[in-house]
Structure 1
Amino acid sequence: EATTPDELIEHCKVLLSAYKYPRELVILPEIPKTATGKIMRRELRS
């Protein structure tokens, strides 16, 4: 059974201060990486 974004946010609310937990989560099938294996942070933001 996969965890939903709402379940993760609720879990963070229990452990973190209100200003620290994420307001929104997006689940991606995989993290975009360059040919050398570095994470493409600009792709994640869009």
Structure 2
Amino acid sequence: GRRATETEIIDHCRTLLARFKVPKAVIFAEIPKTSTGKIQKFRLREMAKG
């Protein structure tokens, strides 16, 4: 039941990760999966480009 904003997640990553590993942006969306539960990587790439 907890929620976090994009800036909160990025700030948290800055405390734990090296500067070059910290994400520049965070996207909140449902991850596309196949009927067997595997992640559809090609659809994730399409979402990231758009």
One fold, TM greater than 0.5? yes
Where structure 1 has 5 or more consecutive residues not aligned to the other structure, the ranges are none
Please give the root-mean-square deviation of Cα atoms over the aligned residues, in Å.
Answer: 1.1
Where structure 2 has 5 or more consecutive residues not aligned to the other structure, the ranges are none
Question: Larger % of helix: which?
Answer: 2
Equivalenced residues, count: 45
More relative contact order, 1 or 2 (CA 8 Å, 6+ apart): 1
- In the TM superposition, structure 1's runs of 4+ consecutive aligned residues that sit over 4 Å from their partners are none
State, as a whole percentage, how many aligned pairs show the same letter: 44
Structure 1 length-normalised TM: 0.82
Structure 2 length-normalised TM: 0.77
Deviation of 1:5 (Å): 1.2
